[in-house]
Structure 1
Amino acid sequence: MGQITNKNAAMQLGLPGRNIAQETHCQLTPENLIKEALKRGEGDLTDQHVLAIDTGEFTGRSPKDRFIVTDSLTKDAVWWSDINIPISTEVFDCLYTKVVDYLNQRAVFVRDAMVGAEKNSRLTLRVVTETASQNLFAYNLFLRPDGDTEPEWTIISAPGFKADPFIDGTRQHNFSIINFTRKTILIGGTGYTGEIKKAVFAVLNFILPQQNILPMHCAANKGEDGDTAIFFGLSGTGKTTLSADPERQLIGDDEHGWGENSVFNFEGGCYAKIAGLSAEKEPQIYEALRRGALLENVCFYPLSKTVDFNNISKTENIRLSYPLSHINNTVNPAVGDVPRNIFFLTADAFGVLPPIAKLNKAQAMYYFLSGYTAKIAGTEFGINEPEATFSACFGRAFLPLHPMKYAEMLGEKLDKYPLNVWLVNTGWTGGSYGTGERIKLSYTRAMIKAALKGQLDYVPYQKLPVFDLMIPAWCPGVPSGMLNPVNTWADPYSYEETARHLAGLFRKNCSQYQSFADGMLCSVGPVAVSPL
């Protein structure tokens, strides 16, 4: 079963004091990890032979419980904020000892892995988990090691260990702590696998800018002629769905780096949000539902092991992780050229933004820094109408450095390379949520296809009032009447009123960056706004 065979190896696990007689499973195959998970009661096998688990109390990340150790390396470098919360070296050391003692009384699963398809910027990992299913997640999401390189970073995840906030210095019993000096990620009290993935992404967001590589929360794919496209967007805006295009090769669905001459995937798999998944709407993701994949927090039809993807009674955030090998049309290695097209995806529940608009450089930096989407009524407790959400660089929760650092890096790329930047609304048209309707996926795909093929380069454009966005007057496969959102509302006055309200929210959000950008960025946003 992959037992540890000597004390030195046991020490290298990141679990000092572990006895070689204790049950330690190293580098298990997906098949054996599934067997171990079923034997330990971690989940069930669906009728498609996919392991399905519940992540317990937490079905999503807990940003307020993500900490960074403050020391000489991070004190003056990290953007300390409500998402980069400082914790002392002493607190980390005490918690580390407790977690190690906890795991040394239990079986553990160990996996060596890598992140970064580009060899020159690759990071090596050792992932130590309390559960087999978490180790299967690490197998699916990270790259396989290509040799006997000693891991640089250690990830230790113990969902069964609960901290005592009064003693251990945490906010509550769960925690995720990054120690850049010790190159260690320590996770406890939560079984949500996304904490592992996003902690590694935060590490890369700190390290890679020092190598002049822009880390990005985006998907990427590649066309037949080698053109690369990247898709920025927050959860639920369509990154995974729209990048999984049968006519293009997938580079990756979530995390990439943009170096001097290439865009490359950090990961070796995908972590798709699958509420409402069907073979008709998302055939590539549905095809990935096979043995070796991992389902999280799904519900079954009564008296069966058939997953009901429309049942989100446990959480709206039901997930599927799978290796890129589960998709036939992928780039291997997962590296593409400098992009020709960039898409900023937003699910605008206010129904104000156009289905597609072309951005100039200043607008591109503005909307990148804004990172806008909207939550809709019913998705979270207490939300009864559309609620604007702004996440800097489409990934604020994962940025150890100030957002302006990443925005400036993007600006440098836009100056250097000829490319198109598009704002794409995958949300509502004809009114806000509750009045209008969701833009059809087929229309969004048609607009992206037209942009990629250059069919929108020479069509007439018209300017959207309030937001000053340039909208194509024509797009193949899309009714021309829906391209300008003003025309889709029954009452133009209501549209303008809603647009001014949303514009005010944009400007209020951007005001926090004025002192870092000399006010330039905020001047290119929506201008006709209601008083704040």
Structure 2
Amino acid sequence: MTAFARSVVFAARPMATRTALSVRRTSILHTKRAMMATVSSLGIDKATGITKPSKVHRNLPYPEVFEHEQKNKEGEVTKNGTFCVSTGAFTGRSPKDKYFVHQSPSCDTLDWGKINVGVAPDVYKNIYEKAVKHYNENVDSMYVFDGYCGTSPKSRKNVRIITELAWQHHFAKNMFIRPDSEKEVENFNPDFTIINACKVLNKDYKELGLNSDVAVIFNVEEKMAVITGTWYGGEMKKGIFSMMNYWLPLDGIMAMHCSANKGKGGDTALFFGLSGTGKTTLSADPDRYLIGDDEHGWDDHGIFNFEGGCYAKTVNLSKDNEPEIYDAIKRDALLENVIIKSDGEPDYTDTSRTENTRVSYPIYHIDNHEPSGMGGHPTSIIFLTCDAFGVLPPVSRLSGGQAMYHFLSGYTAKVAGTERGVTEPTPNFSACFGAAFLTLHPTKYADLLQKKLDKHQTQCFLINTGWTGGGYGVGKRMSIKATRACVNAVLDGSINKANFTNDEVFGFEVPAELPEVPAQVLNPRAAWSDKEKYDNTRIKLAGMFKDNFKKFIKEGATDYSSYGPK
């Protein structure tokens, strides 16, 4: 959840809970006790070299996970029964410690650089053997989650997550697709396995050429990843997402960092946006069904959620500002790094441990979720930006080429600070609205998205949830009412009935009128008292876009630069 999300109060109550079973809602039996497995019966010994743990807890039902978490003293229980853990020194991902093994044939397709850093096979072998040794010498009881990434049976991947901690098993169970029965996974063959050896520290990291004693290394050819040195649960989730970003586009399937929802008539919409833009909140529409809040694929059949749950920020969360998320935090949810008060109540305002406090929970904790986890081909795509320069209109319609330009740009802006007198925003460009998880060159995703848009006649819009009437420190934040009105006009198609004008710098189409949105807000220049300053700021922002886009212009890649600002 985002800062924008914190300020949203839905006027309407959520639609009634649907009676249909959620995708994998029954999990592997909520009430029946799981049968003990062995490393041999699951083939883990031959596949990984882990042979010694005498107890292997596979796909534990939620009540048993809860028992193990308490027995192992891995955290504390809140007043309403939600389990809460601390992830230690790492309260977020460690992107500078993420690596891919540099070897054939994946070395020819991975987009090497600051995001995808290569390590030699012998470095991976060193880390991998440390993890296996730890399990064989120090672990008596381990946990195995066998399930899926992706709700679409034709496009999903089988994932196996091996952990030493019960709460990390709980996290995997929340975030991935849970099998319906034990029989379903009798002969489970994982497409990818993660060994989480969070207690292993690589003290020889300098000799290995690594950034720190933490290592998160992916071996594409061996279909294996190992995590050492960090307890943060999000490494497992985002690690598999990175792999989906590798596999799916090579098969012509789009992988996306976006939320998705579905109207009562079956129309599907996607919401792309970086932190602070309102992606999660705006997709959690009380009048629409939530497909998923973070990661999706787009295959020949439509949109499908990668996950079986949600992973939301909880900072400043309250029942008044976000009732759906607040009510989802109950037994079977898992809180991370939240301070628990002496009376057992979570204190979502306490950021003394981290501002990145989070909760994971199965998606069926949201009343108006879409049980199948799937939707049709999207009618609309919304790119969300929080423009702290106050230049962009609250909504604009994009041509196909412009959509690719803004998709690749992945723009939002962060304010330089919150103290009085700070007025200069900082641009933040993240390719495809998720650069940290792209394993192929960004234009590969743009080309694939362009084909999807053309084939299914999907319309794209840019919505600014940021500032109007001036930049940060001068103007004011776009009103929630105006943003929601823009979103609703896109979703019901009424925006296409408006009269449009072309922005003379950015080139996109801006509606001259929309219900519940003041005309001077729709025209951002009109909202500024100092027109000359607006013109200069717009040119400045356009220049930032152009400078950023230079990195996408390279031989062999589609050049979308002509669709950017003039």
TM-score (norm 2): 0.88
Please tell me whether residue 437 in structure 1 is matched to residue 476 in structure 2. Answer: yes
Please point out which of 227, 231, 234 is paired with 2:267. 227
Amino acid at match of 2:241: F
Consecutive unaligned residues in structure 1, runs of 5 or more: 528-532
Mean Cα displacement is larger for which, 325-334 or 465-474?
A: 465-474
Is 1:10–1:19's contact at 8 Å kept on the other side of the alignment?
no
Mean Cα displacement is larger for which, 492-501 or 137-146?
A: 492-501
Please point out which of 406, 411, 423 is paired with 1:367. 406
Please point out which of 190, 194, 201 is paired with 2:241. 201
Please tell me whether residue 334 in structure 1 is matched to residue 366 in structure 2. Answer: no
Is 1:95–1:168's contact at 8 Å kept on the other side of the alignment?
no
Please point out which of 138, 141, 149 is paired with 2:172. 138
| Corresponding residue number in structure 2 for 1:121 | 155
Q: CA deviation at 1:396?
A: 1.1
Please point out which of 227, 232, 254 is paired with 1:187. 227
Amino acid at match of 2:370: V
Measure the CA separation in 2 of the matches of 1:431 and 1:337. 39
The 1:398–1:214 alpha-carbon spacing in structure 2 relative to 1, beyond 3 Å, is same
| Corresponding residue number in structure 2 for 1:253 | 293
| Corresponding residue number in structure 2 for 1:98 | 130
| Corresponding residue number in structure 1 for 2:462 | 423
| Corresponding residue number in structure 1 for 2:40 | 7
Amino acid at match of 1:328: D
Please point out which of 66, 69, 76 is paired with 2:98. 66
Measure the CA separation in 1 of the matches of 2:71 and 2:123. 35
**Tell me, what secondary structure is at the counterpart of 2:211?**
coil
Could you report, residue by residue, the CA deviation over 1:493-515 in whole angstroms, capped at 9, with x for unpaired residues? 22222222211111001111223
Please tell me whether residue 85 in structure 1 is matched to residue 117 in structure 2. Answer: yes
Query: Where do 1:141-180 residues align within 5 Å?
Result: 141-146=175-180, 147-148=184-185, 149-164=188-203, 165-180=205-220
Measure the CA separation in 1 of the matches of 2:111 and 2:237. 21
Is 1:2–1:24's contact at 8 Å kept on the other side of the alignment?
no
Measure the CA separation in 2 of the matches of 1:318 and 1:439. 26
Please tell me whether residue 282 in structure 1 is matched to residue 308 in structure 2. Answer: no
**Tell me, what secondary structure is at the counterpart of 1:457?**
helix
Percent identity at matched positions? 45
Is 1:13–1:110's contact at 8 Å kept on the other side of the alignment?
no
| Corresponding residue number in structure 2 for 1:352 | 391
Could you report, residue by residue, the CA deviation over 1:447-506 in whole angstroms, capped at 9, with x for unpaired residues? 111211111111112333432332222222333332222222232222222222211111
The 1:436–1:278 alpha-carbon spacing in structure 2 relative to 1, beyond 3 Å, is farther
Is 1:257–1:266's contact at 8 Å kept on the other side of the alignment?
yes
Measure the CA separation in 1 of the matches of 2:415 and 2:69. 36
Is 1:141–1:271's contact at 8 Å kept on the other side of the alignment?
yes
The 1:319–1:13 alpha-carbon spacing in structure 2 relative to 1, beyond 3 Å, is farther
Is 1:13–1:128's contact at 8 Å kept on the other side of the alignment?
no
| Corresponding residue number in structure 2 for 1:530 | none
**Tell me, what secondary structure is at the counterpart of 1:101?**
helix
The 1:345–1:18 alpha-carbon spacing in structure 2 relative to 1, beyond 3 Å, is same
Measure the CA separation in 2 of the matches of 1:519 and 1:256. 24
Please point out which of 518, 522, 532 is paired with 2:561. 522
Measure the CA separation in 1 of the matches of 2:292 and 2:558. 35
| Corresponding residue number in structure 2 for 1:485 | 524
Q: CA deviation at 1:352?
A: 1.6
Consecutive unaligned residues in structure 2, runs of 5 or more: 1-33
- Number of residues of Structure 1 aligned to a counterpart in Structure 2: 523
TM-score (norm 1): 0.93
Measure the CA separation in 2 of the matches of 1:74 and 1:448. 40
Measure the CA separation in 1 of the matches of 2:174 and 2:145. 11
Deviation >6 Å, runs of 4+: none
Greater RCO structure (CA 8 Å; 6+ sep): 2
Measure the CA separation in 2 of the matches of 1:29 and 1:321. 16
Please point out which of 27, 39, 49 is paired with 1:16. 49
Measure the CA separation in 1 of the matches of 2:332 and 2:374. 24
**Tell me, what secondary structure is at the counterpart of 2:218?**
strand
Amino acid at match of 1:240: T
Q: CA deviation at 1:13?
A: 8.5
**Tell me, what secondary structure is at the counterpart of 2:407?**
helix
Q: CA deviation at 1:229?
A: 0.3
Please point out which of 62, 66, 75 is paired with 1:34. 66
Q: CA deviation at 1:275?
A: 2.5
Q: CA deviation at 1:379?
A: 8.4
Measure the CA separation in 1 of the matches of 2:47 and 2:470. 54
The 1:299–1:432 alpha-carbon spacing in structure 2 relative to 1, beyond 3 Å, is farther
Q: CA deviation at 1:24?
A: 3.1
Measure the CA separation in 2 of the matches of 1:95 and 1:76. 24
| Corresponding residue number in structure 2 for 1:323 | 362
| Corresponding residue number in structure 1 for 2:332 | 292
| Corresponding residue number in structure 2 for 1:57 | 89
Root mean square deviation of aligned Cα: 2.2
| Corresponding residue number in structure 2 for 1:376 | 415
Could you report, residue by residue, the CA deviation over 1:193-228 in whole angstroms, capped at 9, with x for unpaired residues? 111111101111111112210111111111011100
Amino acid at match of 1:329: N
Is 1:346–1:373's contact at 8 Å kept on the other side of the alignment?
yes
Q: CA deviation at 1:437?
A: 2.6
Please tell me whether residue 215 in structure 1 is matched to residue 266 in structure 2. Answer: no
Amino acid at match of 1:399: L
Measure the CA separation in 1 of the matches of 2:39 and 2:411. 52
